[in-house]
Structure 1
Amino acid sequence: MGVDYYNILKISKNATEEDVKKSYKRLAMKWHPDKNAVNTEQAEAKFKQISEAYDVLSDPQKRQIYDTYGEEGLKANLSPPPPSSKDRDFGGGRGFRFSPRDAEDIFEEFFGGLDGGKGKSSTGGGSFLKKAAPMETKLPCSLEELYKGSRRKMKISRTVLDESGKPSTVEEVLAISIKPGWKKGTKITFPEKGNHESNAAPGDLIFVVDEKPHPVFKRDGNDLISNQKISLLDALTGKTLNITTLDGRDLTVSVSDIVKPGHEMVIQNEGMPISKEPGKNGNLRIKFDVKFPSRLSTDQKSDLRRVLGRTTE
């Protein structure tokens, strides 16, 4: 029976030249291999079929031969029949030579070269299809998640196009693996999971890590900062701090030195994990806020003069 080019392009036998172009445009964009990274082989086969159908039906001479003799007549290199001929006995004689054009050449000629008209890649791949604009959305994460790592599920909505180019909204749940040590601004990209646009490859979906405020710690690069209030008495005589780490451990910190205004203690390796250096962490920096008494009695002042007056720098 041969190939039904009209069915491949999903048009009627009375389709106009404009109908042929419109259908090719829609189907070629859908099945171009650059847009089908998952089912590449199937897409390549469909893309070649669509291109061959367009090559035949967009050319008046080829279409006349095909309408009269079918695919067999084209590949038998028959000439177009006389205007009055209605037979199908391949009696048109020889002289025409059918040579299918390269699918990529047709695509680039038809679209004028997408993405700036770059045409074929230097590595021999397909056309450079422009991509729809990426979708970016914030991914708020707690410091605990960024310290230990976590797995999140996010429900997304995006616009897709059906075969006729009609847009619709679909929802999908994506799994996101958050790695220990990731910082604010880290981008997690899901290729072609963004919106669809006409005459373009689907856009990417990008989640951008954001840090939620924490009641105890503030992040500074790979370090963690903890602000601790301490009384003047403890600043002078010492104190033991009990700090719960982001992974739930109880950390005991002994403060034995005199704490002066602006004093900072550094606890090695108790900061955030360093994502590019597994097994290593930044530091925990404890900054002290010394609370001075609002007033002192005469006796208290006298006692302080007596005690502190004997101290030396």
Structure 2
Amino acid sequence: MIMSSDYYETLEINRHAPDAEIKRAYRRLALKFHPSCRETGSVERFSQLGEAYDVLSDPQKKATYDKFGEEGLKGGIPPEFGSSGAWSSKYEYHGNPDQTFRQFFGGDNPFADFFTNDAPLQFGGLQQVVVKTQDCHIERDLHLSLDDLFHGCTKKIKISRRVMNEDGCTSSIKDKILNIHVEPGWKEGTRVVFSKEGDQGPNSIPADIVFIVRQKSHPLFVRQQSDLIYKAQISLEMALTGFSVDVETLDGRLLTIPINDIVHPAYKKVVTGEGMPLSQNPSQRGHLIITFEVQFPEKLSAERKQLIKHALNFKF
């Protein structure tokens, strides 16, 4: 069968080229022969490329063309071959290669895919510059225990994002593991930025992913900046006569802290260097601050009240 043109030759590919190669070939040649390109532009060649891509990118049209050639594609398949399942109506190109070009690249500016902030490509006399914009950053909470923030650790976070395929036109969802190296002494609100790890798109810069540290509550300590607050419950007798407080630290040591002062409502015991590591210098630490909750007796007999009065009226 003699054909007036060969779509595969037009796109400079072989007859077994996969869909991705067809797209790449059209992308390259359509830009090269676009009429706006001063050096290589060709209205006729550009129109031929549009028709060739319109046929070979459509599975039904391509199947008809591969089996019956251009004559069968444009003249219709004989009735005896109708059961083959191939596209059988007469094909006629709409004649608007600009329409094909814009449908391929998307949007009103088909050259947007080929420009970046740093290096705009030049196609002959066409020197249009398109600045890609970055998607808005994505914030996620990173919940960490006080122990994590005291010792430091590494957290592995799995994200799912849209990634562009090799053809540059389609995309798929893929998983990725991000490693977050937590430094000792990080505080609530610390931000960890992974640059351009958001969804990929043909005409945009992927968003940054920002993890924000959120500190979990602890059963023994309350954190204030780099200090740790520990509340001890004591009796009235202990508050007046003295005692010792045992505190197990976050690194597993047991501190025995003597209290020889009178514990009044505003009293605090400060133990230097036993708080959280300083993020700027983890070898240094904040303070451990011990506060006290005094447990008063619910009842006192008349005799005990008298004894207390006598003791409190004693001249020191």
Decide which of 49, 54, 74 is 2:31's aligned counterpart. 54
Equivalents in 2 of 1:5, 1:133: separation in Å?
Answer: 42
Q: Deviation at 1:61?
A: 6.4
The SS at the match of 1:156 is strand
Equivalents in 1 of 2:153, 2:235: separation in Å?
Answer: 38
Equivalent AA in structure 1 for residue 291 of structure 2? K
Change in Cα spacing, 1:213 to 1:304, as seen in structure 2 (3 Å) is same
Q: Deviation at 1:66?
A: 11
Decide which of 180, 185, 193 is 1:181's aligned counterpart. 185
Contact 1:151/1:177 (8 A) holds in 2: yes
* Runs of 5+ consecutive residues of structure 1 not aligned to the other structure: 24-49, 68-102, 115-128
Deviations 1:58-93 (A, max 9, x none): 4376244996xxxxxxxxxxxxxxxxxxxxxxxxxx
Q: Deviation at 1:167?
A: 4.0
Equivalents in 1 of 2:136, 2:201: separation in Å?
Answer: 9
Query: Which residue number in structure 2 is paired with residue 118 of structure 1?
Result: none
Change in Cα spacing, 1:111 to 1:238, as seen in structure 2 (3 Å) is farther
Equivalents in 1 of 2:229, 2:121: separation in Å?
Answer: 60
Query: Which residue number in structure 1 is paired with residue 103 of structure 2?
Result: none
Query: Which residue number in structure 2 is paired with residue 113 of structure 1?
Result: 130
Instruction: For 1:176-255, list aligned pairs within 5 A.
Output: 176-255=180-259
Q: Deviation at 1:196?
A: 2.0
**TM-score for the superposition, normalised by structure 2:** 0.63
The SS at the match of 2:251 is coil
Query: Which residue number in structure 2 is paired with residue 132 of structure 1?
Result: 135
Equivalent AA in structure 2 for residue 186 of structure 1? T
The SS at the match of 2:154 is strand
Contact 1:133/1:203 (8 A) holds in 2: yes
Q: Does 1:148 align with 2:151?
A: yes
* Larger CA deviation: 210-219 vs 168-177: 168-177
Equivalents in 1 of 2:143, 2:310: separation in Å?
Answer: 55
Equivalents in 2 of 1:132, 1:180: separation in Å?
Answer: 32
The SS at the match of 1:189 is strand
Equivalents in 1 of 2:127, 2:143: separation in Å?
Answer: 45
Equivalent AA in structure 2 for residue 235 of structure 1? A
Q: Specify the structure having the higher radius of gyration (Cα).
A: 2
Change in Cα spacing, 1:110 to 1:239, as seen in structure 2 (3 Å) is farther
The SS at the match of 2:40 is helix
Q: Deviation at 1:55?
A: 4.4
Contact 1:272/1:282 (8 A) holds in 2: yes
Change in Cα spacing, 1:61 to 1:5, as seen in structure 2 (3 Å) is farther
Query: Which residue number in structure 2 is paired with residue 91 of structure 1?
Result: none
* Runs of 5+ consecutive residues of structure 2 not aligned to the other structure: 1-8, 14-19, 46-118
Equivalents in 2 of 1:214, 1:5: separation in Å?
Answer: 70
Deviations 1:88-125 (A, max 9, x none): xxxxxxxxxxxxxxx62539x776532xxxxxxxxxxx
Change in Cα spacing, 1:132 to 1:10, as seen in structure 2 (3 Å) is farther
Change in Cα spacing, 1:61 to 1:256, as seen in structure 2 (3 Å) is closer
Q: Does 1:104 align with 2:108?
A: no
Query: Which residue number in structure 2 is paired with residue 161 of structure 1?
Result: 164
Equivalent AA in structure 2 for residue 264 of structure 1? K
Query: Which residue number in structure 2 is paired with residue 302 of structure 1?
Result: 306
Q: Deviation at 1:6?
A: 5.2
Equivalent AA in structure 2 for residue 208 of structure 1? I
Contact 1:132/1:197 (8 A) holds in 2: no
